[in-house]
Structure 1
Amino acid sequence: MASKTSSSSSRSRTADSHPAQEASDTPGATGVQQAFDQWLNAWRSVADPAQWAKFTQQTNTAQTNTANESGAAGAASPFAAFAAFTNGFPNGFPSAFPSAFPTLGAMPQMPDFTKLNGMAEFAKLASSMPGFGAAMQGLPTLPKIPTAAIQPERLQQLQSNYSRDASELLKQASEQSIDPSALKDRRFTDTSWQTTPAYAFTAAWYLLNARYLQELADAVQSDPKTRERIRFTVQQWAAAAAPSNYLALNPEAQKALIESKGESLRQGMLNLLGDMQRGKISQSDETRFLVGKNIASTEGSVVYENDLVQLIQYKPLAPKVYARPLLIVPPCINKFYILDLSPESSLVRYGLEQGHQVFILSWRNADQSVAHKTWDDYVEQGVLETIGVVKEITGEDKINTLGFCIGGTILATALAVAAARGEEPAASMTLLTSMLDFSDTGVLDVFVDEAHVQLREQSIGGKNGAPAGLMRGVEFANTFSYLRPNDLVWNYVVDNYLKGRTPQAFDLLFWNSDSTNLPGPMCVWYLRNTYLENKLKEPNALTVCGEKIDLSRLTLPTFIYGSREDHIVPWKSAYASAPVLGGPQTFVLGASGHIAGVINPPSKNKRSFWMIDSDDARLPDSADGWFEAAAEHPGSWWPAWSKWLAGNAGEQVKAGAAQGSKTYPVIEAAPGRYVLERDF
C-alpha cells in the first residue's frame, strides 16, 4: 500500500507544471524534496506513538549516515527531518526569526480626496441636485480613522524576546523535551498533548505566538477605544486559532473518533446542524429544564399584564411579612428567572423566606407587534404602571424596589420621572450591577460608536420614517459569549462538534441562552443616550415620558451592589452611581462576575464580599478610597442586603393567603406566558 502511495506521489510530481521540473534541477532541491516528504510522514505518524518512534529511529539513522558521509555531526532527534528540510535550501530556510528585525516604516497617510481631479466639479453638481443634501445627511457618518503605533524600543524588545523564546522552543522540540510548564493551559491538560512530541510542540508553539500577539496588542499606543478594539480582536483571533479547535490537530478528538468508530464525528455533525438552525452554540442540555417545573418554580400568580410585561406576585413563605412590598425589575434582555433558578439559588425565594412580599416583572420577548415601543414605554408601562398596581394590591403608599443590570437603569429612570411629577412611590432602591454613569462601560465599549448607533437607528430604530425592527436576543447572547471566547464558545465547539458530546445540564447557561428580543427604537435610544453620549447622569439632559430627568432628585435610601470581576458592568462603574444620586447610600462589593457574584446564596457559603461597617450615609468620593476603608466578609452578601431592606420595609403583619385584588384579579399561575415565549 505504501509503495502504491509513493508511486502515485511520484507520478503526481512528474505531471506537475514545468516550474516544478525546473526546481528539481536546482542545487539541493532533491534533498529538500526528500526532507519535505519525511516531514510530512512525521506528521502523519503523530497519532500513533509506535509509528512515531519508528519514524524517529529511521530519520535519526538516515541523518547520522548522511552526517558521517559529510563529516558533520548528525542530529539524532525526531525533528532531524525538519533540520534537513531547512538545510536543503541553498540560502537557508526563510526563518521567521531573523537575527536583526527591520525597522518598521511610517504608516502611509490617507490621501486628501477633496483635492483629487474632478472632486470640485462633482461637489458643484451634487449641490445642485434636489434632495441630495438631505439624502447624504441620512447616511451614517464615516468614523474618524484612528492612529495606532508601538514605540520602536518596545517593539524591538518584544521581537527580541519572541526570537529568544521561539529558538528555545525549537531547541526543546529537537531534543524531544518540551517543557511541561509551557502547556499549563486547560485546553492542553490531557496527557495526549504532552506524551506525543509533535502535539506538544504544536500546543507550545501556539501558546507562544498567542502570548506574543497579546503582548503586541497591549503595547499599542492609541486612544482607549481603539486600543481595546485591537486587544479584543487579537483575543478573538488567538482563541479561534488554538490547535485544540481543529480535528486534524486535536489528539483528544482523534482518540474519540477512533474509539467510537466514527460515531463521535457523526454526532458532532448532527450537533453542528442543530446549532446552525438555532443560530447559536449549545451550552447546556436544554432538554433537562422545563420553565415552571424545575426552574422558575417558586409558587405565585400573574396579577397584571400589558403589551410589555406581566407582573407576578409570589405566595408568602413566612407566617408574618413586612408591610412594605418589594418589586424586582430584572434585565429586559434576558428572562426574569435568573433570580429564581433553583430553590436553593433563588433570590426570590430567599426574599420570601426573610418575610418580604415579593413581586417581579416578566418582560415580554418582543415581536413585530411591539417593535415600535420606545424607552419611554418601558419606563411608563414596564415600571411606573406596575408600581401603581403593587401599591393598590398591598394598600401601601410606598414600596421597595430592586433593579438588576439594565433593569436598574430603567428603574432609576422611572423613579426620576416620578420625582419630576412630584411623586415618591418608592421607599428604597436596590441597584444590582447597574450603571447610571456610563463613563466606563467595560469591554462592551468596543461595540458602540457613532457609526454603529447610526446604522442601528436606520435599520431597526425607525429613523426617517423607516419601519421599526427588533434587536434580536440571539445577537445579545452571542455577543456576551464572545466576551469569554475560550469558556463560552470554543470549549463547546470542541466538545459538541469534534467530540460529539451533549453539553451538561447547567441552569445558569440554560438561562443565558434564553434571551429576549428588544424593540429597535427602545434599544437605539438606550445605546445613544447612555453608552454613546452618557446623558443619563447629567441633570435635565434627557426628556423621558415628557419629563426632564434629574437623578440627583432621588433622595431615597439606595443599596448599590457591584461584582469585583464583572466585565459587563465594572464595579467602579457601579460605584459611580453613588455621586449621581441623592440620599443615603450603602455600597457592597461581591466576589466573582456579573451573574455569579449576584447569585450567591448563603446556603452555599461561597466567595466573599466587602462593605464599610459603619452607619455613615455618605460614601467616599472614589471607589479606590471606598475599597481601602471596606472590610472583607466571608460568604454571601444576601444577609447584609436583607437586613438593610428590612430597615425600609415597615412593620411585620400576618401574611395574607390571597393574591391579587378585586381590581387586579389573578390572570394565571406563575411563571406566566411571557417567559415561555422563545424564538426557537
Structure 2
Amino acid sequence: MTTPKDNAPKSPKDRHAALDQALHAATAKLTNGLSPHATVAAWADWMGHLAAAPGRQMDLWDRATRNATALMQDALRADPAAAPPFQPDHTDHRFTHSGWGQPPFRAWAQGYLATQDWWQAAASDLPGVQPRNAERVRFMLRQMLDAASPSNAPALNPEIIETFSEKGPEVLSAGMRHWLADLSQAAGAQPEDNGPRVGQDIACTPGQVVFRNHLFELIQYAPQTETVHAEPVLIVPAWIMKYYILDLSPHNSLINWLVSQGHTVFCMSWVNPDAELADTSLDEYRRDGVMAALDAVSQIVPGQAIHGCGYCLGGTILSIAAATMARDGDDRLASLSLLAAQTDFSEAGELLLFLDESQLAFLEDMMAEQGTLDGHQMAGAFQALRAEDLVWTRAVRRYLMGEDDRATDMAAWNADTTRMPARMHSEYLRSLFLENRLSAGRFAVDGRVIALRDIHVPIFAVGTETDHIAPWHSVYKIALFTQSELTFCLTSGGHNGGIVSEPGHKNRHYRISCRKAGDLYADPDSWAENHAPQEGSWWREWGRWLAAHGGARNAAPPAMGAPDQGFPPLDPAPGTYVHIR
C-alpha cells in the first residue's frame, strides 16, 4: 500500500541526490565498483612525491641501468643453461614452460621480468606517500604489467606456438567456442552443466533440511556411526559463496569427515538473496541467521552445549554472536572454531585496496540501484588479486590453446557465485572493514557494545599461509582480543585450499600450539619461528580437539529433526537454497 509520504513530490535536494546516485551507480558498473576518484588520488600522491625526490629518481635510474646491463649480459652469455638474472615470484607460473629458456623467448621473458622489477621498486618505499595509496599504485601497476606480459601474446609465447604446431587450426576453433560460451554466460545465460553436479557429485553428504527461514536452511547430516559425541557441531559458512566449499566431493568434504568421526553436524545454507532482501541488515544475519540456527539445534539436541564453527565471514558473524551471548549470559556454546576468519580488520590484506570512503560511496550507490552486490562483481575483485593466474593464464589456456577448464569440485564451487544484500554488505564493509569496530570495542548489538574478551569458551582458530582474503597475521589477532584457552593452527595453502585439506592430501603441513588462559602474548612471526611445521592434515588435530572439549563418543545419534518441536525434515540435503542462482 502506498502512503501519502511515498506520493509526496521530491525536493530539489532529493532529486539532485538521486542524480548523483544514478551517475555513481553507472560509473561503478563500468569500473566494477572501483572509484575513479580514489584511483586518481593514489596516482597523484605517488607521482607528486616521486617528482619531489631527485635522490629517489637517481636510485631508479641506477636500477634501470643495472637491469639493462644484466639483460645484455644474459643475451650475450654462451651458456643458455645458466640461471637467468630475473626470476618470477614463486606463485607465478607463466614462464615455467621449457621454451622460455630458449632464445628469443628467454630475452622477452627476462625483459618483462626486468621491467616488472623496476616498476615494483618505483612504487615501493617512497617516503611521504600514504600507505593505502602506495598499495593501490602497486596493485594498478601489477594489473597493467600482467596485461602486457609476453605470455599473453600468441607470437611471443613458446607454449602457444608449440600447441598450435601440434594441433593445428582446431586450437583456434576450440578457443573461439570457449570465448563465445564465456561471452554468453557474462550476458546472463546459464553455463553448461558439464562439471560436478550439486547434490550428486558435490554437496552430497546425506542429510535433511530441518529448518528454513528467509535467510537460510539448516541441514542436519545423517549419522554414519553407531554412537556419536553428545555435543553437536553447528557450522556457519560464509554467505559470499555457497556453503558447500565445506562439503565438496565425499573424499575432501570436511562435513562428511566430521560425521564419519562420530559428530552430529548441522550446517547453515544461506539463501542467495535478490533485491527483495536489499534492506536486510547485518544484525539480521546474526539474529535470524546464527541465533535462529542455534535455537533450532538446541531444540533438536536438547540439553547439550554446541560446538560453533565459522568459516570466513561466517566466523566473523559467529564471533559477534558468541560475544553477544557471553554478554547476555547465554552459555549454550561448548567451544568456538574459527576457520580463516577475521575479527580484526586492520591488516585485512589486499581487499583493503577496494575500500575507503570514496570506494564505499560508489559501491553503496551501485547496490542501492541494484538492491544487491552481484556475485560476478565480487568475484571480479577476488580474481584481480591474482590476475596473472586467475585472469590472464586462464584466458591464454582457454582461448589461445583451446583447453577446457578443469572440471574440478573446487572450480564448480568457485563459479557458483552469490549476491549480497545492499544494506548488510554496506554495514559489514563500513563497521568491520573500514571502521574496525569489533576489535576496537565499538561494535554494538541491541544498542550495547560487545567485547570479544567476554568469550570464555575454548577457541580453535585456523589461518592459512598464503591467504589473500584473510591473511593469517590478521586471523592470528584473535589472540590479542580474547583471554580464554586458544589453540592456533597455521596450515599450508590458501583461503580455500588450506581449509579443504583432507587427511592424505599430499604436501600439506601445519603448525599448532595452545595458549592457556593467562599465558603471555607472542607476536605472529615469533610464534611461527618457535613452532615447527608438522606433516599432514590439520583436520585430525581439530577432531582430537573437539573430542577433548566434549563428551565421549558414547551417545545414540539424535533423530533427524524434531517434528514435535516444530523442526520436521523438510527436504533432503543439500536443500533448495543452494540451487538458487
TM-score, with structure 1 as normaliser = 0.74
Q: Which amino acid aligns with 1:508?
A: M
Q: Does the aligned pair in 1 maintain the 2:204–2:247 contact within 8 Å?
A: yes
Aligned mate of 1:452, from 354, 359, 364: 359
Task: Give the partner amino acid of 2:504.
Answer: S
Query: Does 2:94 correspond to 1:205?
Result: no
| Contact map agreement 1:172 1:179 (CA 8 A) in 2 | no
Q: SS state of the match for residue 270, structure 1?
A: helix
Q: Distance in 2 between matches of 1:202 and 1:362?
A: 49
Per the TM alignment, residue 669 of structure 1 is displaced from its structure 2 partner at its CA by 0.5
Quote the Cα distance in structure 2 between the aligned partners of 1:302 and 1:177.
Answer: 66
SS across alignment from 2:219: strand
Q: Aligned equivalents of 1:479 and 1:661: distance in 2?
A: 42
* Aligned mates of 2:529, 2:113 — CA distance in 1: 37
Cα drift, residue 357 of structure 1: 0.7
Give the match for residue 627 of structure 1: 528
Alignment check: 8 A CA contact 1:178 1:200 kept: no
Query: Residues 353-381 of structure 1: CA distance to partner in whole angstroms, max 9, x if unpaired?
Result: 22111100111111122222110111111
* 1:448-500 CA-partner distances (Å, limit 9, x unpaired): 0011112222332x5xxxx6611111122221122112221111111100111
Cα distance, 1:179 vs. partner? 6.8
How far does the alpha carbon of each residue in 1:122-150 deviate from its partner, in whole angstroms, 9 at most, with x for none? xxxxxxx9749995998899769453334
Secondary structure of the residue aligned to 2:61 is helix
Question: Compared with structure 1, are the counterparts of its residues 430 and 234 closer, same or farther at alpha carbon in structure 2 (3 Å cutoff)?
Answer: same
CA distance in 1, matches of 2:265, 2:416: 23
2:401 to 488, 491, 499: 499
Whether contact under 8 Å (2:232, 2:306) holds in the other structure is yes
- Structure 1 residues 26-67: Cα deviation after superposition (integer angstroms, max 9, x where no partner): xxxxxxxxxxxxxxxxxxxxxxxxxxxxxxxxxxxxxxxxxx
* Contact map agreement 1:613 1:630 (CA 8 A) in 2: no
Equivalent AA in structure 1 for residue 136 of structure 2 = R
Q: How far, CA to CA, are the matches of 1:398 and 1:175 in structure 2?
A: 70
Aligned counterparts of 2:520 and 2:421: Cα–Cα separation in 1: 37
Aligned residue runs from structure 1 range 188-203, under 5 A: 188-195=95-102, 197-203=103-109
The yes-or-no answer on 1:482 pairing with 2:371 is no
Partner of 1:602: 503
**What residue in structure 2 maps to residue 63 of structure 1?**
none
CA contact (8 A) 1:285 1:503 kept: no
User: Is the contact between residue 586 and residue 617 of structure 1 (CA under 8 Å) also seen in structure 2?
Assistant: no
| Residue identity (%) | 36
Counterpart AA for 1:486: E
Q: Which has the higher contact order (CA 8 A, sep 6+)?
A: 2
- Distance, in Å, in 2 between the alignment partners of 1:445 and 1:595 is 19
Deviation at 1:648, TM superposition (A): 2.5
Secondary structure of 1:537's aligned partner:
helix
* Partner in structure 2 of residue 508 of structure 1: 410
User: Alignment partner of 2:225: what SS?
Assistant: coil
Matched, 1:671 2:577: no
> Would the alpha carbon gap of residues 411 and 645 (structure 1) be closer, same or farther in structure 2, given more than 3 Å must change?
same
**Which AA in structure 1 matches 2:124?**
D
Give the aligned partner of residue 618 of structure 1.
Answer: 519
Distance in 2, matches of 1:330 and 1:617, equals: 31
Q: 2:459 — aligned with what? A: 558
Equivalent pair of 1:344/1:603 in contact (CA under 8 Å): no
Q: CA deviation at 1:397?
A: 4.6
Q: Which amino acid aligns with 1:208?
A: A
Instruction: Tell me the equivalent position of 1:407.
Output: 314
**Which structure has the bigger radius of gyration?**
1
Q: Confirm whether residue 322 of structure 1 aligns to residue 229 of structure 2.
A: yes
Distance 1:159 1:421, change over 3 A: same
- The aligned amino acid for 2:498 is G
C-alpha change, 1:382 and 1:242, in structure 2 (3 Å) is same
Which shows bigger deviation, 559-568 or 145-154?
Answer: 145-154
In 2, the alpha carbon distance for the partners of 1:630 and 1:669 equals 44
- 1:243 maps to a residue whose letter is P
CA distance in 1, matches of 2:408, 2:12: 60
- Cα displacement (A) at 1:435: 0.9
Question: In the alignment, does 2:474 pair up with 1:573?
Answer: yes
Matches within 5 A, 1:423-434: 423-434=330-341
Say yes or no: does 1:536 pair with 2:438. Answer: yes
1:72 counterpart residue number: none
Give the 3 Å change call, closer, same or farther, for CA 191–304 of structure 1 in structure 2: same
Q: 1:619 to 1:570 in 2, by over 3 A?
A: farther
Counterparts in 2 of 1:270 and 1:132: CA distance versus 1, 3 Å: closer
SS at match of 1:612: strand
Give the alignment partner of residue 292 of structure 1, picking from 195, 199, 205.
199
1:570-611 per-residue CA deviation (whole Å, 9 max, x = no partner) reads: 212111122223422221221222122212122225422112
1:144-185 deviation line (CA, Å, top 9, x unaligned) = 945333454343233223224324534654788767633865
**Displacement after TM superposition at 1:615 (Å):** 5.2
- CA apart distance, 1:387: 0.4
Q: What residue in structure 2 maps to residue 217 of structure 1?
A: 123
Structure 1 unaligned residues grouped into runs of 5+? 1-128
Superposed displacement of residue 237, structure 1: 1.4
Task: Tell me which of 410, 413, 420 is aligned to 1:518.
Answer: 420
Shift of residue 508, structure 1, vs aligned partner? 1.6
Structure 1 residue 320 displacement after superposition = 1.1
1:239 and 1:468 map into 2 onto residues whose CA distance is: 31
Matched with 1:441 is 348
1:151-190 → structure 2 map (5 Å cutoff) = 151-170=53-72, 173=75, 181-182=83-84, 186-190=93-97
**1:383-406 Cα distance to aligned partner (Å, 9 max, x none):** 000100001001135211000111
Q: CA RMSD in A?
A: 3.0
Question: Take 1:437 and 1:251, find their aligned partners in 2: how far apart are those partners?
Answer: 46
> Which of the residues 552, 557, 568 maps onto 1:656?
557
Partner secondary structure for residue 494 of structure 2? coil
Aligned counterparts of 2:160 and 2:281: Cα–Cα separation in 1: 48
**Partner AA of 1:551 in structure 2:** L
Counterpart of 2:299 in structure 1 is 392
Alpha-carbon deviations, 1:509-553, whole Å to 9, x = none? 2212212111011001000011111111233x2333554333222
Native 8 Å contact 1:309 1:362 kept in 2:
yes
Structure-1 separation of matches of 2:390 and 2:520: 37
**Residues in 2 aligned to 1:207 and 1:267: alpha-carbon distance in whole angstroms:** 31
Superposed CA offset, 1:307-340 (max 9, x none): 1101000011221111110000011101111111
SS of equivalent residue, structure 1 residue 316 = coil
- Which of the residues 478, 482, 486 maps onto 1:585? 486
The answer to whether the 8 A contact 2:458-2:485 is kept is: yes
Q: Number of residues paired by the alignment?
A: 542
Q: CA deviation at 1:445?
A: 1.0
For the structure 1 residues 456 and 172, does the alpha-carbon distance in structure 2 shift closer, same or farther, using more than 3 Å as the test? closer
Q: TM-score, normalised by structure 2?
A: 0.86
After superposition, residues 207-246 of structure 1 pair within 5 angstroms as: 207-221=113-127, 222-246=129-153
SS of equivalent to 1:418: helix
Q: 1:273 corresponds to which residue?
A: 180
User: Which range is displaced more, 515-524 or 451-460?
Assistant: 451-460
Equivalent pair of 1:305/1:311 in contact (CA under 8 Å)? yes
Q: 1:364 corresponds to which letter in structure 2?
A: V
2: CA distance, partners of 1:448 / 1:417: 27
Code of the aligned partner of 1:501? E
Give the residue type in structure 2 aligned to 1:496: R
Change (3 A) 1:496 1:302: same
Is the 1:417–1:545 contact (alpha carbons within 8 Å) kept by the matching residues of 2?
A: no
Instruction: Write the letter of the residue equivalent to 1:671.
Output: P
